[in-house]
């Protein structure tokens, strides 16, 4: 935009300079013609309808007749200047003017009068753009200094050599120059318009690319952030993600005075699944447990895998829901899942909970510790069920004696003794995997 304004400004200035130069050339031309004629004291030309004797020239021998009988009249510099400029009205024209002219037609117009007065104060010239009769004209005037040759006509007026007798005024029609200016301006506007469009297109493309890059970077940052708080195996939040989101939710809950329930869950028998069926099957069990946990809770709740076989869920605003109801719903889904045909083992998850009271707030670690304690209370019960119900262990071929079964049953009745030693029967159960299992001789 600034380039277009600057170029238009320069174009207008150039047009004015051309007009001024044309006026200066015309002035100098008239001045040189006058000087040449004045040097020769005027020139004689044949008298004709267009060149009659000058009635304002009162000098001896103004009119002469040649030996051949031709009538000649003396043309002084002013007469010659006027006739030359009258030959072509379309060319820059000039004339002599004065505040005290001998010839009335040389009287100044208002603009020239002001300029002539300025010459008397020492001004050396004037120029301006003038609009008259709807036409624009560039005008220039220079002072006319009386020379010795001028005194033959103006001496009777008290004129002396060196006096400022008037001025030479030149007028340049601007119509042709303005046409050139308009054409150049249209070309400039077209060129700058094209450049402007190209520039805007470039800016748009650059902005679009920059915007795409910013979006891609933000997307990559969001993906990286999501990866940093997401468990890769289950798709749930990981430990870091859980603590970040849960701490924020606890702060909001303190202000809103709403209730929170934290559930802590741990899978039962994951090590046995890994040892007997391999870690790939163990991973599949973790994924199944995570899916059931996610299905049980709402999308607004925060569900995460803390690592290994441990899970946690922070249920938000459960005013009308009993935590035991949520646990029952979760265990019901586990049982439904275990009824799937051709399963190699039964999925079992122990779960405990703790409540957040905004009137007496607890820290996240305190809530987790309380839920963890309740979860282990349930896990001890689940472990006894596992020993009494081998169907929950991965399908194995049990080759055990009745004495071993009786001994294991005694151990289950004595949890202290059981916790201090490893069950031989369990070791044997996990030591010999097979495609099927036999419950012969096992307690029901």
Instruction: Look at residue 203 and tell me if it is in a domain.
Output: no
Q: Is the dihedral of CA 86, 90, 91, 96 positive or negative?
A: positive
Whether residue 90 is contained in a domain is answered as yes
Let me know whether 245 and 353 are in one domain.
Answer: yes
Give the pLDDT confidence score for residue 157 in this predicted structure. 62
Q: Which residue, of 123, 140, 173, is where some domain finishes?
A: 173
Pair 164, 259 in one domain: no
First-residue to last-residue Cα distance in the chain = 93
pTM given for the model: 0.46
| CATH number of the domain encompassing residue 365 | 3.30.70.270
Whether residues 260 and 168 fall in one domain? no
Answer yes or no: is 17 within a domain. Answer: yes
Looking at the structure of the chain, the number of domains it has is 2
Tell whether 157 and 263 lie within a shared domain.
Answer: no
Q: What pLDDT is attached to residue 306?
A: 93
Residues 255 and 164 occupy one common structural domain: no
Query: Partners of 94 in the beta sheet?
Result: 170
Cβ within 8 Å of residue 52, ≥6 positions away: 73
**Per-residue model confidence as pLDDT tens digits over 305-352:** 999 999 999 998 766 668 888 899 999 999 999 998 788 889 999 999
> In terms of domains, do 255 and 355 share one?
yes
- Cα(142)–Cα(190) distance, integer angstroms: 40
- Residues 295, 166, single domain; the answer is no
Question: CA 328 to CA 333: how far, in whole Å?
Answer: 9
Say whether both 247 and 343 belong to one domain: yes
Residue 288 maps to a domain? yes
d(CA 74, CA 62): 5
> Are 245 and 138 in the same domain?
no
pLDDT given at position 84: 81
Give the pLDDT of residue 189: 79
Given a contact cutoff of 8 angstroms between Cβ atoms, the answer to whether 297 and 323 are in contact is no
Q: Which of 370, 394, 418 is the last residue of a domain?
A: 394
Give the per-residue pLDDT at 349.
93
Please compute, for residue 287, the number of CA atoms within 13 A of its CA located in the half-sphere on the CB side.
Answer: 10
Which residues of the chain fall below pLDDT 50?
A: 386-388, 390-444
Burial zone of 431 (CB within 10 Å; 0-12 exposed, 13-18 middle, 19+ buried): exposed
Q: What integer pLDDT is reported at residue 329 of this predicted model? A: 92
HSE-up (13 A, CA, CB side) for residue 310? 13
Both 243 and 378 in one domain: the answer is yes
Q: Rounded CA gap, 428 and 406, in Å?
A: 15
Q: What is the predicted pLDDT for the residue at 420?
A: 38
CB contact at 8 A, 307 and 264: no
Q: CA distances (Å), 19 to each of 13, 88, 138, in order?
A: 10, 18, 7
- Residues 392 and 353 sit within 8 Å (Cβ to Cβ): no
Are both 102 and 244 inside the same structural domain?
no
pLDDT tens figures, 61-97? 889 999 898 999 998 888 888 888 777 665 667 788 8
Residue 212 resides in a domain: no
15 shares its domain with 113: yes
118, 138, 173 — which closes off a domain?
Answer: 173
Residue 208 lies in a domain: no
The residue segments making up the domain with residue 150 are 2-173
37: in domain: yes
Residue pLDDT, tens place only, 371-398: 999 998 888 866 555 444 544 444 333 3
Is residue 28 situated within a structural domain? yes
Which residues make Cβ contacts (< 8 Å) with residue 133, sequence separation at least 6?
A: none
């Amino acid at each position: 935009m600034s380039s277009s304004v600057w170029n238009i400004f320069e174009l207008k200035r150039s047009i004015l300079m051309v007009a001024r130069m044309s006026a200066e050339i015309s002035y100098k031309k008239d001045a040189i013609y006058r000087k040449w004629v004045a040097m020769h004291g005027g020139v004689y030309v044949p008298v004709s309808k267009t060149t009659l004797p000058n009635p304002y020239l009162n000098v001896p021998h103004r009119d002469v007749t040649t030996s051949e009988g031709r009538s000649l009249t003396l043309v002084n510099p002013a007469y010659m200047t006027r006739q030359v400029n009258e030959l072509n009205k379309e060319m820059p024209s000039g004339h002599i003017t004065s505040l005290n002219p001998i010839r009335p037609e040389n009287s100044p117009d208002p603009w020239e009068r002001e300029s002539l007065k300025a010459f008397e104060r020492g001004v050396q010239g004037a120029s301006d753009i003038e609009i008259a009769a709807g036409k624009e004209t560039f005008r220039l005037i220079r002072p006319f200094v009386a020379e010795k040759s001028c005194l033959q006509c103006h001496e009777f007026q008290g004129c002396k050599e060196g006096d400022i007798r008037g001025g030479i005024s030149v007028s340049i029609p601007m119509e042709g120059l303005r046409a050139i200016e308009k054409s150049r301006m249209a070309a400039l506007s077209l060129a700058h318009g094209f450049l402007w469009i190209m520039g805007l297109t470039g800016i748009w493309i650059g902005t679009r690319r920059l915007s795409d890059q910013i979006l891609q970077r933000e997307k990559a940052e969001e993906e990286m952030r999501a990866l940093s708080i997401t468990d890769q195996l289950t798709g749930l939040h990981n430990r870091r993600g859980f603590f970040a989101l849960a701490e924020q939710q606890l702060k909001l809950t303190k202000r809103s005075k709403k209730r929170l329930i934290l559930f802590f869950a741990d899978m039962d028998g994951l090590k046995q699944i890994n040892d007997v069926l391999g870690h790939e099957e163990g991973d599949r069990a973790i994924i199944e447990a995570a899916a059931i946990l996610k299905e049980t809770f709402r999308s607004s709740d925060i569900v995460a895998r803390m690592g290994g076989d441990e899970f946690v869920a922070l249920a938000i605003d459960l005013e009308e829901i009993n935590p035991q109801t949520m646990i029952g719903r979760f265990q019901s889904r586990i049982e439904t899942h275990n009824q799937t045909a051709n399963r190699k083992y039964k999925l079992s998850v122990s779960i405990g909970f703790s409540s957040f009271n905004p009137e007496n707030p607890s820290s996240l670690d305190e809530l987790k510790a309380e839920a963890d304690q309740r979860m282990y209370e349930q896990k001890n019960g689940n472990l006894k069920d596992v020993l009494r119900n081998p169907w929950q262990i991965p399908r194995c071929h049990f080759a055990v004696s009745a004495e071993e079964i009786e001994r294991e049953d005694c151990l289950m009745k004595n949890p202290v003794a059981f916790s201090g030693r490893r069950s031989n029967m369990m070791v044997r159960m996990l030591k010999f995997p097979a495609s099927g299992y036999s419950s012969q001789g096992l307690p029901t």
